[in-house]
Amino acid sequence: MNGGPSGFNNAPVTRALVIVCALFTIVFGIQGRSSNLGWSYQDIFKKLQLWKLIVSVFSFSSTPELIFGAYLLYYFRVFERQIGSNKYSVFILFSVIVSLLLETIALKLLKDPSLSILTSGPYGLIFSSFVPFYLDIPVSTRFRVFSLHFSDKAFIYLAGLQLLFSSWKRSILPGLCGILAGCLYRMNVFRIRRVKFPDFIASFFSRLSWPSTGSTPSPAPRNALGNVPSYASRQVEGNYAAPLSSAVEPPEESITTLVSMGFDRNSARQALIRARNDVNAATNILLESQ
């Protein structure tokens, strides 16, 4: 099991998020302020330190938390590839806002002295992502250790448990609130799964110039007629009744990307042919056919 091709190909929002989290954690760690980034009910509603709430969303309180958190964010880039950067940005915003609201309500109701300050980091987003991970990502490998059965998904769950219990109650509460936020998104409350950002906002991350560590996209394959452009929606008059793009075989890397999302290989190949080898368009075709 993997998140598709290596690197941040087709996942610009995830790339920006991981970079921001790493920079914030390193900068505040060097300044020795990482332990003071956790937010409390008093900070937000009595001292009106909203900046602390914003910073705490992107900065982990320790290096081990950054390692596990960045690894999970990197793996969950598969969801951005699956639903597109626009809808994934909505998912991020929804998960962060709803989890913070749930945390605020929980702090107000529990009044536990040990929960006076919650740990910092994008816990709401990470644990919200475990909901589609559990429901949508198939198991590709199973193995046994000392008569105990495991799957390849176990490594992601172990990383999540390590992050969940990293600060005990201070991290457990944000994690549970994130899972609830993911369930609400899954239930499509307020029809949130249909919401999209305007195109100029959605394209912002795609214009970032930070280099991706993955392999460069393969050049578009040439069709059977050489340099003549193909048109999927047009039928050529005369002897060529079928679309020219039907002669183009999808790249193996694109098929592998869709298969890693849980789609059947043959269905992925047919969808890519229909979408003229556009992975995002092929993903939408496969999702609509389910």
| pLDDT value, residue 250 | 86
Task: Give span(s): CATH 1.10.8.10, the chain.
Answer: 244-289
pTM higher than the cut 0.85: no
Question: Poorest-confidence range of 17-21, 38-42, 124-128, 283-287?
Answer: 38-42
Contacts for 23 with CB less than 8 Å, ≥ 6 apart: none
pLDDT(77) > 90: yes
CATH 1.10.8.10 fits 244-289, yes or no: yes
Residue 96: both structure tokens together = 């962060």
pLDDT(21) > 50: yes
Please check whether residue 268 is in contact with residue 253, taking contact to mean a CB–CB distance below 8 angstroms: no
Rg (CA), the chain: 22
Please check whether residue 62 is in contact with residue 33, taking contact to mean a CB–CB distance below 8 angstroms: no
What Cα–Cα distance (Å) separates residue 100 from each residue in 19, 22, 53, 179, 248? 22, 21, 9, 12, 48
Task: Give span(s): CATH 1.20.1540.10, the chain.
Answer: 12-207
User: Confidence class of residue 219 from pLDDT cuts 50, 70 and 90?
Assistant: very low
pLDDT(174) > 50: yes
Give the range with max mean pLDDT: 12-21, 78-87, 206-215, 233-242.
12-21
CATH 3.30.200.20 fits 12-207, yes or no: no
What average pLDDT score do residues 192-210 get?
69
pLDDT(58) > 60: yes
| Residue 226 DSSP code | B
CB neighbour burial string for 210-240, b if at least 16 within 10 angstroms, e if fewer: eebeeeeeeeeeebeeeeeebeeeeeeeeee
